[in-house]
Amino acid sequence: QVQLVQSGAEVKKPGASVKVSCKASGYAFSSYGITWVRQAPGQGFEWMGRISTSSGNTNYAQKLQDRVIMTTDTSTSTAYMELRSLRFDDTAVYYCAVGWELRSWGQGTLVTVSS
Amino acid sequence: EIVLTQSPGTLSLSPGERATLSCRASQSVSSNYLAWYQQKPGQAPRLLVYGASTRATGIPDRFSGSGSGTDFTLTISRLEPEDFAVYYCQQYGSSPRTFGQGTKVEIK
C-alpha cells in the first residue's frame, strides 16, 4: 500500500534552514505529485505547494515562494521540502501527501523554531 | 484565493446520531474538486471523500459527501465511537489549494 515516511523532528534557530524528506513506497513515484502542507500548533492546515514528480515543476504558495524549495530524487522515490530564513511562526508539523486529493499522508515532521 | 468556511465549529452528538457538516466556498469550486479529511489528535489526516462525493478506499459507507459549486456537506449517518475527531474540507480545483478551519465532532 502507499506509504510516505518523513524524516524526524528538527529544532532550528531563527534565520536557519530546514530540509524535510518524504520517502514514498507502494506505488510508482512519478505517477503522482507530492504536496506539502503544514499545521501550526492547535491550528488548521496551510497549503505550502506541490511538486510534479514526473517533470519537477513546482507551484508554491505565494507567501512562501521566496523561502521554500521543493525537490525530488526519483532514484530513491524521495521528495524534499527546504524552508529557509526560518521564523518563530514557522513552528509547525510539516506533512507531505500524495495525489491531487491528498490520498495518503506522511506521519508529519515537527519543526520547532526557537532561540 | 477560495476561502472555505466550515460550520458549525463544534458539533456535540452521541454515538448513533447523525452528523451533518457544512463547507461553504467563497467562489465556485472548479470541477467540484472538494475533499474531506478526518484528523484525530496526534495523527496525520485521513482522506474520507474526494470529488465532493466519492468515498476514498476503505472508508465506511456511513460517510457520505454531497454538494456542488459553493456548498458542500459531509454526512456521517450513525456516529461510531471512532468518528469523534476534527473534520476538514479542502478544495484542490484552483491554486492556491485551501482548507476550511475544521469542525470538531465531540461526544455529548
Predicted pLDDT of residue A115: 95
Quick one: average pLDDT of A1-19? 97
- Please provide the size of chain B in residues: 108
Q: What is the pLDDT of residues A21-30, one digit of tens each?
A: 999 999 999 9
Does A105 sit within 8 Å of B44, measured CB to CB?
yes
Q: How far is the C-alpha of B23 from the C-alpha of B102, rounded, in Å?
A: 9
Chain B residue at shortest CA distance from A105: B44
**CB contact, 8 Å: A36 with chain B?**
no
State whether residue A83 is helix, strand or coil: strand
Distances from the Cα of B52 to the Cαs of A36, B22, B71, in angstroms?
A: 22, 12, 10
Predicted pLDDT of residue A95: 98
| H helix intervals, B16-63 | none
Show the cell assigned to A112.
520547532
Distance from the B53 Cα atom to the nearest Cα atom in chain A, whole angstroms:
12
Q: Would you give the distance in Å from CA A50 to the centre of its chain?
A: 9
Does B37 sit within 8 Å of A44, measured CB to CB?
no
Show the cell assigned to B81.
465511537
Q: Could you say which residues of chain B have pLDDT below 50?
A: none
pLDDT exceeding 70 applies to what percent of chain A? 100
In this complex, the residue of B46, B92, B96 whose CB is nearest that of residue A101 is: B92
Chain B residue at shortest CA distance from A110: B42
Q: How far is the C-alpha of A57 from the C-alpha of A51, rounded, in Å?
A: 6
Chain B residue at shortest CA distance from A96: B44
Predicted pLDDT of residue B14: 96
Predicted pLDDT of residue A52: 96
Quick one: average pLDDT of A86-100? 97
Q: In degrees rounded to 5, what are phi and psi of residue A106? A: -70, 175
Does A59 sit within 8 Å of B47, measured CB to CB?
no
Radius of gyration of chain A (CA): 13
Quick one: average pLDDT of A46-70? 96
Region of residue B77 (left: phi > 0; alpha: psi -120 to 50; beta: else): alpha
> Binning pLDDT at 50, 70 and 90, where does residue A92 land?
very high
Predicted pLDDT of residue B25: 98
